[in-house]
A and B are shown apart, each in its own frame.
Chain A
Amino acid sequence: MIHRHKGLGLTTKTLCLTLAVMGLILSVIITLSESYKQLHEQTRNLATSEMESLMTSVRLVQQSESLGNLGVRLTSATTHSARRRALIDLTDRMTWVGQLTNRLARQGGEPELIEQVRQTLHQLEQNTAELNLSVSERIDGNTDPGLQRHIEALSSNNRELSGQLGVLVGYFSANTRRQMVSQSEMLASDIQTQRYNLIALSLVVLLFALLTGIYFEFRIVRRILHLERTVRSPKVDIDAFDTLGGDEISRLSKTVRSYVQRIQSHEAQMRKAHQEMTYLAEHDTLTGLANRRHFQAAARRLLRESRQPLCIAIGDLDYFKRINDRYGHAAGDQVLVDLARLLEKGIRESDVLARFGGEEFAFILPVGSLEDAQKVIEKLRTRLAEHSIAAAPNQSIHLSMSFGLALVDASNLEQPLDDQRLETLLDSALRAADEALYSAKHNGRNQVELAPETLYANAI
């Protein structure tokens, strides 16, 4: 018997394993999606805000550079129209530079540098306003050399401030580019890490799936095969069933085992009943001796098989009615039982003894001749006559029996007897023995009488 600890049911285990596998796969997916999300975020950040920062700073550089040219345009304006146009363009660009600077500040540029850019821009705005006024004065006809010098100084200052602005925002641009490079390197290394993670996680999932498969092979498939083999074997070994576990296969095994046990127990009962019935059909219930039916079957068998003649003898207890009348039927029955034991002891192993009914007994004795049989029966009769039987407490009685013997010879036949001839032979033998018994009774009882002739099978 396979011993197993009681545990969780298969369904629960299957559910647990399925959930475990699903959980594992899910956690892999979540981990992957999280890492992809992270990568996605990084890429997006790189593509949007970093790229935007870079573009913003590059735009800023361009715009700062163009401020210098616009300043020159303002300085060289000879009409108010040209002056205004230059001023409008300058203001537009300076506003845009201011906006871009704010953008850069929001994107996380270095505050001190941003402040420096703002201050420079503010100085540029003031310088431009002053330049505009001076240029306007010049256009209105003021030819004072002092004014011209002032304009030149302002213009040069404008160029210097624009240049400074360009240098400052150029630093942003370079910085952002550097940041982008380092971020993209980081991204590449992250992608590599995620690749390894993916491989490792996939291996874990595969290993787990494999282990689950092995577990199912051992915990389910093999046990079912074992059950099948146990049930299939010609002689089912009850102890081979795996019944100590608590799972469904163990329960199935238990059910099958109890089923097999029931079948086996039914089989045994049937066999016993059959034996009993066979016994009852062939034996006399009182004495346990063979009955007439068994006697006849045995006689037929012996007639068919025996290589020597058979003596058919019938014995009848003398004056049995008197015992019944005097001691009662129970005592009479007991006498019959004792008598049967006595008779049994007196015959040979190869002989057959049967109770034919009432106080009548029959014998089949394979013998060489009728005389041999007579010796056996005579010995029996003598022993009985000398023996006393207790019919009742302290009441021993002496019994006697009369016997009629007939010899049948079915040996040396060229071909086996057919059923009908066998029956005829047996009937004749019994009748002859009966007739001899009658003679014995008639001649005064307690004696053995022989049938006058041997009955030969080939004479039938």
Chain B
Amino acid sequence: MQMRSNQASIRRAVTACLMLLLALCVPFSAQASEHIRLGIQLEPPSLDPTRTAAVSASEITWCNLFEGLTFVNGEGQLRPRLAKSWTLSDDQLQYRFELRHDIRFHDGRTFNAEVAEFALQRLLDPGNANPQLEWYKQITGVKATDEYSLEITLKRPDAMLPFALSLPAAVMVHPDSAANNGEHPVGTGPYRFAGWEKGHSVTLLRNDDYWGKRPALHEARFLFMRTSVGTENMLAEGLVDGLLSVTRVGNRFLLRPDYRMSPRQLQSKMILAINNGRPPFDNLQVRRALSHAIDRQNLSQLYGPQFKPQLIGSHFPPSHPAYVDLVDRYPYDPERAKTLLREAGVEPGTRIALTIPPTDYGRYGGLMVAEDLERIGFRVELEQLDWSRWLSQVFKQKDYALTLIMHVEPMDLNIYARDNYYFNYDNTRFKAIWEQVLNAASETELHRLLGEAQRQLAEDAVNVFLFMRPEQNLMHRQLRGMWEKSPIPSFVLEDVYWAP
């Protein structure tokens, strides 16, 4: 017996030693292939996608750090996420979501229907300035009926609600951490926040307590590429593994064997946004002059000759069934533009500022737009802003004349129906159309009304609608598992891995 217990203790000691050896060995291996560094052009002012319109916040956090009740997966399909399932009442005015159990936030707090109720009430509170509030306007009530059941009541049927709840703006946040999410986001996702080096990068680390499948990558770093030359440098030296949007410099790097193009299914619409409330752009003729003045064909070559972006004539993607081709509504015609300006009483040599965000398209697209505008008689000064200043000065304070900008949110036609949106668009007629859109009884009617909405925007020449950005990201050839079919502006890490 003594012998046996001694043998057992020897065995235990040997096992302990082996474990220790293993523990000593592990940190030296399996490291390099668990990191990813991704270049992102715009540093968001906040990491809370429920509070900022900066898409880079959701690119970093959506389905990585934060999760919603639903999500659109890598195949582009709408699926439940923190909800297990949902049902719709017969009168189509009440959604009932059954939530998953045993979900915890990164700080250990529990997720339940009460938390979900709080998150949605917070979203609906206009004081919280949710960037996508328009999507949820038809919600009249949110109520936790028991610990894991949530009831959402609507003022009118809305088949798009489950999709709306998948958007980054509707992710679940906890009442105790929500206020601080901008600087130190706390979500339920497979990655947790590890640090934000302002001006440089945001780092996420794998959440080892995640309720779902364990992701392959241990660490992800999103590096902010504020300059074109910097992007080129970083790519050249292999300091980034991929870029989260197409850039002018990307093409050159396809010559290298370590990079490739990875498609995305975003609906990024490049527009020359016009402050419709600021003279002379409050004049429809001036806005139409701008639409005639911009050589979209030329501008669309911004990213290089091998990309053939689709031109647009309104704020709507050609891939949608309700798309109306309005590309030729304002053909490129500088003479016509000049005439329109003359008729509108705009003096040649009028100085205007073109505000550009610190992106590749901003800098080089801005130069092209400036030349087009000078061709019809404006004197253009480029105003380069960093991203947080662009967001505060242009997007919030609407203190600008023209700006070149990309709208990447899917199905965001409703921004034109919003009050106080930065276009300053006097939109009574559009609002009426949009009200009809929301009440459309059938798909055919919906499509017809969406067409009408597109036409209205084109007629009002609200902005100069330029082209759809080619959605090709430059990625390292060995990277796999990107959600290439997701329409949500995001970079979901959970399936990403390094191919051996």
Contacts and interface: CB of A to CB of B under 8 A. Distances in A.
Contacts of A100: 230
Interface stretch (B10-18, B56-64, B474-482): B10-18
B155 interface: no
Among A18, A59, A96, chain B packs the most CB atoms within 10 A around the CB of: A96
Interface string A77-90: 00011001101110
B228 A84 contact: no
A179 to B, nearest CB: 19
A81 B363 CA distance: 13
Nearest to A136: B381
B378 to A, nearest CB: 11
B167 to A, nearest CB: 32
A15 B17 contact: no
A11 to B, nearest CB: 5
A89 B227 CA distance: 9
Interface stretch (A29-37, A231-239, A294-302): A29-37
A88 B367 CA distance: 8
A84 to B, nearest CB: 6
Interface stretch (B1-9, B81-89, B255-263, B275-283): B1-9
Interface stretch (B20-28, B448-456, B462-470): B20-28
Interface string A36-53: 110010000000000000
Contacts of B370: 80-81, 84
A26 B20 contact: yes
A171 to B, nearest CB: 20
A96 B231 CA distance: 9
Given A11-B2, A88-B363, A102-B199, A22 B13 contact: yes
A93 interface: yes
Interface string A60-90: 0001000000000000000011001101110
B374 A95 contact: no
Contacts of A92: 227-230, 363
Give the interface size bracket for B toward A: 35 or more
B200 A29 contact: no
Interface string A374-396: 00000000000000000000000
Contacts of B363: 88, 92
A85 B24 contact: no
A59 B233 contact: yes
A99 interface: yes
A100 B380 CA distance: 31
Interface string A100-124: 1011001000000000000000000
Interface of A is mostly: helix
B367 A91 contact: no
A15 B382 contact: no
Among A29, A81, A88, A103, chain B packs the most CB atoms within 10 A around the CB of: A88
Contact of A55 (B226, B228, B237, B358): B237
A199 interface: no
Contacts of B228: 92
Contacts of A87: 382
A81 to B, nearest CB: 5
B13 A19 contact: yes
Among B200, B230, B379, B384, chain A packs the most CB atoms within 10 A around the CB of: B230
Given A11-B6, A81-B370, A99 B13 contact: no
Nearest to A23: B17
Contacts of B227: 92-93, 95-96, 99
A84 B382 contact: yes
Contact of A15 (B6, B25, B226, B384): B6
A9 B10 CA distance: 15
Contacts of A85: 367
B17 A22 contact: yes
Interface string B357-375: 0100001101100110010
A289 B331 CA distance: 157
A96 B233 contact: yes
A62 B230 CA distance: 12
B147 to A, nearest CB: 46
Interface string B39-63: 0000000000000000000000000
B24 A29 contact: yes
Given A85-B367, A88-B363, A99 B374 contact: no
A96 B358 CA distance: 12
A99 B367 contact: no
A63 B229 contact: yes
Contacts of A84: 367, 370, 380, 382
A91 B384 contact: yes
B390 to A, nearest CB: 14
B221 to A, nearest CB: 13
Interface string B413-434: 0000000000000000000000
A103 B200 contact: yes
Contacts of B2: 11
Interface string A5-25: 000000110010011001000
Contacts of B3: 11
Nearest to B3: A11
A40 B233 contact: no
A40 B28 contact: yes
B384 to A, nearest CB: 6
A405 to B, nearest CB: 79
A99 B24 CA distance: 38
Contact of B230 (A29, A55, A96): A96
A18 B20 CA distance: 17
A84 B229 CA distance: 16
A49 B12 CA distance: 42
A96 B229 contact: yes
A33 B26 CA distance: 11
B24 A33 contact: yes
B179 to A, nearest CB: 29
A91 B237 CA distance: 22
Given A29-B21, A63-B229, A15 B200 contact: no
Interface in B366-400: 366-367, 370-371, 374, 379-380, 382, 384
B134 to A, nearest CB: 34
Contacts of A102: 199-200
Nearest to B364: A88
A4 to B, nearest CB: 21
Contacts of B382: 84, 87-88
Nearest to A55: B237
Contacts of A30: 20, 24
A93 B229 contact: yes
A120 to B, nearest CB: 18
Nearest to B227: A96
Contacts of A106: 197, 200
A81 B367 contact: yes
B166 to A, nearest CB: 35
Interface in A244-284: none
A95 B230 CA distance: 9
B226 A95 contact: yes
Contact of A81 (B27, B237, B374): B374
Contacts of A93: 227, 229
Nearest 6 A-B pairs (CB), nearest first? A96-B227, A96-B230, A92-B227, A33-B24, A95-B227, A96-B229
Given A84-B370, A100-B230, 15 more contacts: A15-B9, A15-B10, A22-B13, A29-B21, A55-B237, A80-B370, A80-B380, A81-B371, A84-B380, A92-B227, A93-B229, A96-B227, A96-B230, A99-B199, A102-B200
Interface of B: 2-3, 6, 9-10, 13-14, 17, 20-21, 24-25, 27-28, 197, 199-200, 226-230, 233, 237, 358, 363-364, 366-367, 370-371, 374, 379-380, 382, 384
14 contacts: A11-B2, A80-B380, A88-B364, A89-B229, A92-B227, A92-B229, A95-B230, A95-B358, A96-B230, A96-B233, A99-B200, A99-B227, A102-B200, A103-B200
